Structures are given as structure tokens and as C-alpha cells.
Structure 1
């Protein structure tokens, strides 16, 4: 019983340290003095309280996603829309955990200890609007957007013809794509979102394993009060 108590106490201490580090990482900013521009490329950062992702226009003067995220990948033309929401994460968690209550122990264990089985999740949206809790708007410069595009494109696994490799998603408006990367407790789907933003020079937390650490850094005044 003494050894069991020590093991439990050690596990609780590790969890507590992890949570404290996550809190500190989420409130310490990278790119502290960045500001959303008055004109440029309008993006959104979205959360479902588990995963976060970046919403981008399918086509802009800076980049055309149709060459990689192709219209023929979706079952119906109605499923292909004006914008895409892109996130990266653990394959088992992504495929099986659309919401927190769906999380399976085996997927959670694999995600915590690490796996190379990762996916990009691409969801098609038609002219999205900002909402205070789960979808917030930022406007980035063309140079910043090019860096965001570059970071995301580098995650796509391509076939011999140079095409992305899709597989079915949750419904007719989303798909999963085979991706590069290593997922673990220290580099989660939310760390990835912040990492993409940070590489583009956009303000975010220095370490954000949870969605709240990502969403707190969306600039004030960038939401529609709907």
C-alpha cells in the first residue's frame, strides 16, 4: 500500500506540473507586439473545446488551396465551399473523438505517450462568421499568410503524383488527409495551431497544449457579437 500511495502521489505530481506548465505557457506570449492588420487576409481561429484549427479562404490572391485540397475529394460539389478549416492531430483521437465524451482510453494513452499516426483534418465552410466563444477573426498580412500556408502545406503527405491523400471525415463537408509529424502530450493539436501562427510572427502562447491557451491570444475586438 505504501508503494501504491507513492506511485499515485508521483502521478498526481506529474499531472499537476504539466497543468501548471500549460497555464504558464499559455499566458506567456510569443511575438508579443504583433497586431492584426486593417487590411490583408481574413482568417479565423476555431475551437470545438477539444481541437483548434485555422480557417482560410480556399482561394485568395496569395494562395489557391484547390490544387491540394481538391474539389473532387468531396463526395458532392455542395460539400466544397468558400473556406477550409485545417487542424492537425492524432489519428485515433481525430477519427474517434469528435467531442470530449467520445474519447477512448486507448487513443488517449497513445496520444499521451506519442504516435506518428497523425492526420490533417480539413472541414469546408461557406463564408464563415465570427462567434465569441468558438470562432474568432484575425487579419494577417500577405507575408504572414504565405508563412502560414507554407507551414501547413509541409504537413501534407503527397503521393507519387504530388497529390494529397484524402480519407473520409465525419460527414460530407470534411475530410482527413495523411500527414507528417509526431503527436504526444508535449506537442498536441493545439500546440500545432500555435506553432503555425508563431512561425508566421503572429502573437500566441509559447506552449499551448489545450485549446484555451490558443484562443486567449486572438486579438480583442476581432469577434462578431452574435
Structure 2
């Protein structure tokens, strides 16, 4: 067999060096991102906020990957029925007293209910950035707080109006100003066409934190992961 030439050996060595440097650089980027996420989740905004004694009860919920906000479908402050209709569901009997609302990347939302479901093409699209985003709505009936994954909070009427306004702006409407639903995971949830741009620096959990920040509620400064949102809400508001 012919022996490799010195030129080929040199090219292979150079390629290996560049591969090693690329892996190290990528690893450093990941580490820096995780450290920034940790710092962002620990540094609060609206630090002086407190649950009002007499306020509207909402919940913050996580499935371990995505976070969202639970709100009454209707009260004296805001009515969600113009956007979230019973007839949007295949079985309107699943229409709830409350809705759990989140926003995120379409591919990740539709295909990734938990971390083990994440596909490489969805992950790359989410990291690089995409305008293909959805609002996800679960219907719930008289939800109660549960340890870890569903935390209560109370907000004033003014704060709830800000939360509702920020969420409404994410629904993409058709020419007749109607929301645009499509099937979800099951009988009690739906996806809606949405506005916004998703990337590694503005994730579904950043969105949750951002909505709360805009309403003056204490949360982490930058919350790309669900833990950065959930840590700010105790298991009970009592």
C-alpha cells in the first residue's frame, strides 16, 4: 500500500486541529450560555413586587420544558372568548373555565412535549431563529395549585390588563380579525398562529418571563429555561 505523503498528513493534522478548536469553541459557547441563563434567572426585575392581598388569581405552569400562564377564560377585567372560542375545539365540552397559554417555536411545540422528543432540525431552527411561532392554549376546569409544576400568584386588575394585552398581541389574526386555530396534542388543547420571532435568546420561557416583567411582576431578568421563571413563585400565595 502506498504511504501517505507528508502533504496529506499535514492536511489531516490541520483538519483535526480545527475540529478540536471548533469543538472547544462550541463547548465554551454552551457553557457561557448556561452561565448567563443561570445569572439571568437569579437576578430579579421588579424586585419590590408582592402578591396583592385581594387580587386576581393566576398560575404559572411548566411541563419541564415549556412554561405558560393560566388565566380565567372570562372575568370582569378581561374576556378571552373572542380569541379562544368553544367551536375551535373538536369537542366543545372540553372548553374550560381557565386557559393555559404559552408561546413558542412551531416545530419544537408540535414535536417536543418533553426533552427526549427534541429533533435535531427543530433544535437548529430554534437556536438560529424562526418566525414560525405558535400560541399554545390548554383548556382547564377550575385548576388548583400543585407542587413544582403549577404555582399560584395574585395580580392586581391593572397588572392583569397588561398581561392580557401582551398575550393578545401574540395572536396572529386573519383578514376578518379572527384567531387561527389548529389541532393540538389532544381534545383539550389547540395551537394558534402567532406573531413574533423565536431564537436561542428569546425562547418560550423568555416570553413567559417577559409578559410578567411588563406587568411589573418579579421574575428573573433573562429566563431561557423554565426554572428561571418557576423559581420566583412559591407553592402557595398564603
Q: TM-score range by the shorter chain?
A: over 0.9
Report the 3-state secondary structure (helix = DSSP H, G, I; strand = E; otherwise coil) of the residue aligned with 2:81: helix
**Residues 32-52 of structure 1: per-residue CA shift (max 9 Å, x gap):** 010011112110000000000
Indicate the residue corresponding to 2:157 in structure 1: 142
Indicate the residue corresponding to 1:129 in structure 2: 144
1:44-55 superposed matches below 5 A: 44-55=59-70
Deviation at 1:220, TM superposition (A): 5.8
Indicate the residue corresponding to 1:64 in structure 2: 79
Q: Is the 8 A contact 1:89 1:183 kept in 2?
A: yes
Larger Rg, first or second structure (1 or 2): 2
Deviation at 1:76, TM superposition (A): 1.2
1:41-120 superposed matches below 5 A: 41-120=56-135
- State which of 13, 25, 39 in structure 1 corresponds to 2:28: 13
If the length of structure 1 is used for normalisation, what is the TM-score?
0.97
Report the 3-state secondary structure (helix = DSSP H, G, I; strand = E; otherwise coil) of the residue aligned with 1:163: coil
If the length of structure 2 is used for normalisation, what is the TM-score?
0.92
The yes-or-no answer on 1:171 pairing with 2:186 is yes
**Residues 172-225 of structure 1: per-residue CA shift (max 9 Å, x gap):** 1000000000000000000000000000000000000000000001146338xx
Count of aligned positions: 223
- Name structure 1 gaps, 5 residues minimum: none
- Name structure 2 gaps, 5 residues minimum: 1-15
**Residues 93-137 of structure 1: per-residue CA shift (max 9 Å, x gap):** 000011111110100010001000000000000001101110000
Q: Is the 8 A contact 2:180 2:193 kept in 1?
A: yes
Pairwise CA RMSD of aligned residues? 1.0
How far, CA to CA, are the matches of 1:47 and 1:41 in structure 2? 20
Q: Is the 8 A contact 1:115 1:183 kept in 2?
A: yes
Would you identify which runs of 4 or more consecutive aligned residues in structure 1 move more than 3 Å? none
